[in-house]
């Protein structure tokens, strides 16, 4: 028997033909992998709190008050919750995002492949998805946890 890094070669009775085997067994690699209990490689779905799958292109509604810090001065401020109008405030460093602001999911990270703590990327665009009255002051994208948003059906 001759041994290399992963494979060993088993001597056969007529010594002319040598059969490779994995780790010294007579089991071939395809047989070994077929018998292994491998994890399911299907993508893990991101679900909102209602159990709806969040997919790329779906409309997303923000559920909680949040702050977006990565906006231009034009997008800084807050919304009047009664009139739902944006009130610009260049002295603040963020946009106060109200529950009800809607955007489009542009990326959803697989739970199995990524350790992203905010795996849902949503793009907000002025004039789009304003059903609840809130209109984004500028175009921006933001990452969310699944508990912070919900899919609009």
Give the residue numbers spanning the domain of 105: 59-151
Residues 141 and 73 in one domain: yes
pLDDT tens readout for residues 108-131:
987 777 677 889 999 999 999 999
Res 90: pLDDT? 87
pLDDT tens readout for residues 50-65:
889 999 999 999 999 9
Res 2: pLDDT? 52
If you ran DSSP here, which 8-state letter would residue 40 be given? P
44 belongs to a structural domain: no
70 belongs to a structural domain: yes
Question: 3-class DSSP state for residue 148?
Answer: helix
Name the CA dihedral angle for 136, 95, 121, 146, rounded to a multiple of 10 degrees: -110
49 belongs to a structural domain: no
Residues 119 and 85 in one domain: yes
8 belongs to a structural domain: yes
Does this model's pTM top 0.85? My answer is no
**Structure-token match 């893990």, residue found:** 44
Residues 23 and 88 in one domain: no
With residue 34 as reference, give the H or E element that holds it. Answer: helix 29-35
Residue ranges in the chain whose pLDDT is less than 70? 1-44, 114
């Amino acid at each position: 028997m001759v041994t290399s890094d992963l494979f060993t070669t088993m001597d056969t009775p007529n010594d002319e033909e040598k059969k490779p085997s994995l780790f010294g067994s007579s089991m071939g690699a395809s047989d070994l992998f077929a018998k292994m209990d491998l994890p399911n490689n299907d993508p893990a779905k991101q679900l909102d709190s209602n159990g709806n799958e969040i997919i790329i292109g779906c409309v997303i509604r923000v559920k909680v008050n949040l702050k977006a810090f990565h906006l231009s001065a034009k997008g800084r401020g807050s919304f009047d919750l009664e009139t739902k109008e944006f009130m610009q405030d260049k002295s603040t460093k963020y946009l106060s995002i109200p529950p009800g602001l809607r955007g489009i999911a542009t990326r959803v990270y697989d739970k199995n492949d990524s350790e992203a703590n905010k795996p849902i990327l949503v793009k907000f665009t002025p004039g789009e998805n304003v059903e609840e009255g809130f209109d984004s002051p500028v175009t921006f994208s933001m990452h969310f946890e699944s508990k912070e948003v919900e899919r609009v059906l």
